[in-house]
Amino acid sequence: MMDTKEYLSQYRDAVRKIDKLKKEVEYYTHMSNTVPGMNFDQVRVDGTRKLDAPFTKWIHKALDCEFKIKEIENQIPAIKDEIIITIEKLEDTELKSVLIYRYIDWLSWSEIAKEMYCSYATVRRKHSQALEQITPHVRMSRGEQG
């Protein structure tokens, strides 16, 4: 079961996953360009290695990653919108701001404190309050009881 922080972090996690997959595509593309081609000099006998070109494995892996990237990119707007709608259910605008800055804009605690003209400790306290108040809304949006 996903807790409130995990729920609010879905957008950031999806973007990070895309970045990771893009790095994998780069690696697989590099590997496909460095592996030698097919060896036609060998006779194919059952039980021997495949004679496919070794670089095809890397190309297939890169294509799989690109497919996953597209899939996640298509989900990101809906994830972001759902999180914003959930945050907007809070009444206190400062609590909303802390959550937006943290989970949508990905600001650090010190950057949030600077934006909100308050101390680091105040930002952390408001974040805790916001999480307490938003937890029932998160459970409702996920269809949980409790």
Residue 144 to residue 137: CA distance in whole angstroms: 10
What pLDDT shows up at residue 123? 97
DSSP structure string for 53-117: -THHHHHHHHHHHHHHHHHHHHHHHHHHHHHHHHHTT-S-HHHHHHHHHHHTS---HHHHHHHHT
Out of 1-10, 44-53, 95-104, 131-140, pick the least confident.
44-53
The arithmetic mean of pLDDT across residues 130-139, rounded, is 91
Share of the chain above pLDDT 90, in %: 70
Note the pLDDT tens digit of each residue in 65-82.
999 999 999 999 999 999
Residue 3, Cα to own-chain centre: how many angstroms? 16
Answer whether residue 45 shows pLDDT above 90. Answer: no
Residue 117 to residue 29: CA distance in whole angstroms: 47
